[in-house]
Amino acid sequence: MIKPKTKKLKNGLRVLMIPMPESTSVTVAIFVRAGSAYETQKNSGISHFLEHMCFKGTEKYPRPIDISIELEKIGAASNAFTSRDITGYYAKTAPQHFDRAFNVVSELYLHPHIDEKEMEKEKGVIIEEIHMYDDDPRSKVSEMLEVGLYGNQPAGWSVAGTPQHITQTTRDMFIQYRSARYLPQNTVVVIAGSFHESHVLQLVEKAFSSVQNTQKSPEAQKLKTREKGKQFSILERKLDQTHFAMGFYGVPLNSSKRLSVSLLAKILGGSMSSRLFQRVREELGAAYYVGSSNNMYATHGFIDVYAGTNHAKTGEAIQAIISEIRSMVRAGVTTEELRRAQDYSIGTFLLSLESSSDLGFYYGQQETVQGKIESPQEIIKQLKKVTTHDVHQAAKEFFRLSTMRFSMVGPYKEKDAEKFKKLIRR
């Protein structure tokens, strides 16, 4: 059994080491509690923009291409990401190249050049990224759903911000935000794979011990669910398929009900044997993709149910989905359904932890966001303890049609919302 080890430096930065002696790779990652959950209406999108800027040059690697060449020389797979809760920078390479990978990733975090000329160029890149997702109806309908669920607060804002936010971002805003978030107490350095512990600690101490814990870092603001307000949102686009999503308020990451809710979503639409896949795709032939998932963050969570349907069968698909949801609320789930969902969840969970990067992300994000670690064995044990009663209670508590939010992209107008409301009320 792999046993992660955490060491805290004097300045509060945590080092998380996940030894895999037989691994043919090592992953270096730095996770920071800096995401859209910590943004304001003025600087929305700045976490993601800052992540981009960290690759535009550093003290050791003055040009973006210098970073790329150094990583390519060691055959590293590298990237970065920004979510609602965290920003992450990482590189995965052969163990003999650990020092060089560590040097690059630590440079991205510690010494980025926030150059104004590069900023102006990157604004165009990010705005095109926003447009790319805006042009994708599956992404767009999901974005609309979160706006419907949470409105004008961080959980309802796009992680990337808006073109207007990006255009108005200044260098001073970057400096101010970075100084408030990129602090030792918000940061976890993760090393997973084949490495020598003493050498890791020596490198981390040398690179990070001088980083000062200079100020208190603001916590994410508390969210409010929108129990009232606009329930349906429709965006008219001429498409060959109708894309829609339904959203139900769920639970955050630290909830004791999180696994019951996850299994509820899995049974409804999380696999090829799920109710929605069998009913909407196999029986009705109304959709290529249909499903449901449980989305959990530090401050909130929601269940989304989604599909891309034949225009002529959209109404029939919506009715079928609502029928299955009502059935789960009324009668719960069977023992066989729960067993299949548990087995499938455990199997896919274990498969997701095969490599050094998989384990680095699994443990690292837990440590960064929740400040604690649960081993895969503990998660599996908890999954097996969930009962049909637990899942039925979750269905009754969270599948509330009165507060459900609905979003749709397709050849419809806002006035068509009434037609779909009637289908759901039947």
Residues 152 and 238 in one domain: no
Residues 240 and 300 in one domain: yes
Residues 202 and 236 in one domain: no
Which residues partner with 291 through β-bridges? 306
What is the pLDDT confidence band of residue 227, given thresholds at 50, 70 and 90? Answer: low
CA 236 to centroid of chain Cα atoms: 27
How much of the chain, in percent, has pLDDT values that exceed 90?
A: 91
The pLDDT tens digits of the residues spanning 26-51 come to: 999 999 999 999 999 999 999 999 99
What are the start-end ranges of the H helices in 308-353?
314-331, 335-351
The answer as to whether 226 is a domain residue is no
Burial class from Cβ neighbours inside 10 Å (0-12, 13-18, 19+) for residue 121 reads exposed
The pLDDT tens digits of the residues spanning 231-244 come to: 999 999 999 999 99
The answer as to whether 223 is a domain residue is no
The answer as to whether 387 is a domain residue is yes
Residues 240 and 151 in one domain: no
Domain span at 163 = 5-208
The answer as to whether 133 is a domain residue is yes
Q: Residue 409 in contact with residue 137, Cβ under 8 Å? A: yes
Residues 241 and 203 in one domain: no
Residues 238 and 330 in one domain: yes
Average pLDDT over residues 254-267: 98
- Cα 143-146-422 angle, rounded to 5 deg: 100
- The pLDDT, as a whole number, for residue 426 is 66
- The pLDDT, as a whole number, for residue 75 is 97
Residues 258 and 343 in one domain: yes
Which of 192, 208, 224 is the last residue in one of the domains?
208
Residues 242 and 389 in one domain: yes
Residues 50 and 191 in one domain: yes
Catalytic residue among 22, 39, 51, 205: 51
Residue 35 has which token pair?
Answer: 């995401």
Cα–Cα distance, 420 to 346 (Å, whole number): 37
Cα–Cα distance, 50 to 114 (Å, whole number): 9
Nearest to 261 by CA among 277, 246, 248, 271: 248
CA distances from 90 to 14, 32, 227, 388 (A): 16, 12, 39, 40
- Cα 184-189-195 angle, rounded to 5 deg: 150
Number of alpha helices (DSSP H) and beta strands (DSSP E) in the chain: 16, 11
Average pLDDT over residues 287-303: 97
The answer as to whether 220 is a domain residue is no
The pLDDT tens digits of the residues spanning 363-406 come to: 999 999 999 999 999 999 999 999 999 999 999 999 999 999 99
Which residues partner with 295 through β-bridges? 302
Average pLDDT over residues 261-270: 98
Residues 253 and 191 in one domain: no
- The pLDDT, as a whole number, for residue 296 is 97
Residues 6+ apart with CB under 8 A from 54: 80, 89, 108, 109, 112
- The pLDDT, as a whole number, for residue 424 is 85
Q: Is 67 helix (H, G, I), strand (E, B) or coil?
A: helix
Residues 364 and 299 in one domain: yes
The pLDDT tens digits of the residues spanning 133-167 come to: 999 999 999 999 999 999 999 999 999 999 999 99
Active site annotation includes 51: yes
The answer as to whether 225 is a domain residue is no
Average pLDDT over residues 328-345: 98
Q: Which helix (H) or strand (E) holds 15?
A: strand 14-19
Does the pLDDT of residue 422 top 90, yes or no?
A: no
- Cα 173-297-278 angle, rounded to 5 deg: 130
- The pLDDT, as a whole number, for residue 16 is 98
The answer as to whether 338 is a domain residue is yes
Residues 38 and 116 in one domain: yes
Number of domains in the chain: 2
CATH label of the domain that carries residue 305: 3.30.830.10
Sheet holding 232-236, edge to edge: 232-236, 405-410, 242-249, 301-309, 287-296
How much of the chain, in percent, has pLDDT values that exceed 70?
A: 99
Calculate the CA dihedral of residues 54, 55, 57, 61 and round it to 10 degrees.
Answer: 110
Q: Residue 276 in contact with residue 292, Cβ under 8 Å? A: yes
The answer as to whether 352 is a domain residue is yes
CA distances from 37 to 21, 86, 141, 272 (A): 36, 9, 21, 33
- Cα 337-342-348 angle, rounded to 5 deg: 125
Cα–Cα distance, 28 to 161 (Å, whole number): 28
Q: Residue 272 in contact with residue 228, Cβ under 8 Å? A: no
